[in-house]
Chains A and B, each alone.
Chain A
Amino acid sequence: MALPEISRSMLKNSLVLGLFAIVTVGLVAITQLGTAERIADSERAAKNRALSELLPAGSYDNHPQDDVHLVHDPLLGSKGNSPVYLASLDGKATAVILQVTAPDGYSGSIQLLVGVLADGTLSGVRAIHHRETPGLGDKIDLAKSPWVLTFAGKSLQNLAAESWAVKKDGGAFDQFAGATITPRAVVKAVHQALQYFDAHRAELLKPVEKPHD
């Protein structure tokens, strides 16, 4: 009768395995508890920095990352909901920052933050997430090239619809040597974001309702 012995070793092994599972999960849980606050702070700070770069200094006195609501529209390029951040001064909306997706980048979709002033002028554009080719397509990143700065000051009013394209396609925006697809995707996404803003201006500039005020 070898069965009891096998059962005994099974029992022992399971207990050892279970014990280690508890200990290791406990270790992760403690670390998570200890770092959660700091991680949230870092995320907020990073988001805050990204948003504040897109807003003219002194044009807002709220915390835009808190005045956020979710919208859904094919023009914004995302299948899910996209956040819209509202900047306001003395309770009056001065700008919104739309998070839009350019689905047709060279390698996957490109996440952009598009800042639009209340009058429909672009305050700035930043690429926040992309996997474009280093050295070619990644010039949409401000860390690599000042290209995205060319968007500031443009609007649907001062730039005709056919000019919202790269120069190769007869538009007003530079493409990069060796990379046309990436800037083309970004220009299209920004153009659509402006069209979206134009169509929904009133509701976008409405103060965000806070459920727990």
Chain B
Amino acid sequence: MTSFREIAINGLWKNNPGLVQLLGLCPLLGVSNSVVNALGMGLATAIVLAASNATVALIRTQVSDAVRLPVFVMIIAALTTCIELLMQAFTYELYQILGIFIPLITTNCIILGRAEAFAAKNTVAAASFDGLMMGTGFGLVLLAIGAVRELLGTGALFANMQLLFGPIATHWQVTVFHNYPGFLLAILPPGAFLVLGLLIALKNRIDEIVAARAKAAEPAALPAQSRRVRVTGVIE
């Protein structure tokens, strides 16, 4: 039984789906060109992830291994479709911008990955919390990339927030650099890769510093750990 504190640390930092597991790169790079897009996508993913984890944990003892995957996929697809319909009904313009990326939440590896790796072996409460934390971790990375790209690309932040929060957010835009000529690379897809790479480097650097400090405090031998190819850390 994993403690809730550990689940939170795992999802938000140590095993962050965006920075460490490098899962869900398609939406991560595709819709992270502004804060409002990133926030909308992050929320939708986190909701689907928490709900699918909870459902999978709820039925984990009823479903045999043979049909486990198809059942998980059905649950995830149904939840995503519901979210898509709700977004269409309540945030129509944002839905039009995020477009194809909403149905693609179904194929986001984070969701099936967490269903398989965590929810299928844990209680409903732990699984929902894990979904929420993993979703938040993913959303925060999206948000960080979105903010950096919007700021570098357009010189402003929080443009078009009314798409998500209604008319009250019309004037939330903050122009940081006036008469900014725009920096196209940041808005185009290569900019997403560059910003993601820099964020991963930053995280690894912070981890290194923390590890070095811990080592200085008490020297201990690290156990051998298995590594997967497409990760920047250790999968647990």
Q: Which residues of A contact B (CB under 8 A)?
A: 9, 12-13, 16-17, 20-21, 24-25, 27-28, 31-32, 35, 38-39, 42-43, 45-46, 133-136
B residues 68-85 touching A (CB-CB < 8 Å): 70-71, 74-75, 77-79, 81-82, 85
Instruction: Kindly list chain B residues whose C-beta atoms are within 8 Å of the C-beta of A38.
Output: 89-90
Given the contacts A13-B67, A16-B63, A31-B86, A43 and B92 also touching, CB distance less than 8 Å? yes
How far does the alpha carbon of A31 sit from the alpha carbon of B75 in the complex, in Å?
14
Chain B residues engaging chain A, CB cutoff 8 angstroms: 33, 62-64, 66-67, 70-71, 74-75, 77-79, 81-82, 85-86, 88-90, 92-93, 96, 153, 182, 184, 187-188
Q: Supply 30 A–B pairs (Cβ within 8 Å), ascending by A.
A: A9-B66, A13-B67, A16-B64, A16-B67, A17-B70, A17-B71, A20-B71, A24-B75, A27-B82, A28-B78, A28-B82, A31-B81, A31-B82, A31-B86, A35-B85, A35-B86, A35-B89, A38-B90, A39-B85, A42-B89, A43-B92, A46-B92, A46-B93, A46-B96, A133-B188, A134-B184, A134-B187, A134-B188, A135-B153, A135-B187
Q: Which residues of A contact B90 (CB under 8 A)?
A: 38
Nearest to A10 among chain B residues (CB) is: B66
CA distance A21 to B187 in the complex (A): 41
For the residues of A in contact with B, the DSSP-based class is helix
A31 to B63 Cα, complex, angstroms: 25
Q: Once the chains are docked, how many angstroms separate the CA of A12 from the CA of B12?
A: 39
Interface SS majority for chain B: helix
- Whether the Cβ atoms of B64 and A24 lie closer than 8 Å is no
Kindly state the separation between the CA atoms of A46 and B92 in the bound complex, as whole angstroms: 8
Pick from B78, B86, B153, B182: contact of A25, CB below 8 A. B78
Chain A residues within 8 Å of B79, by CB? 27
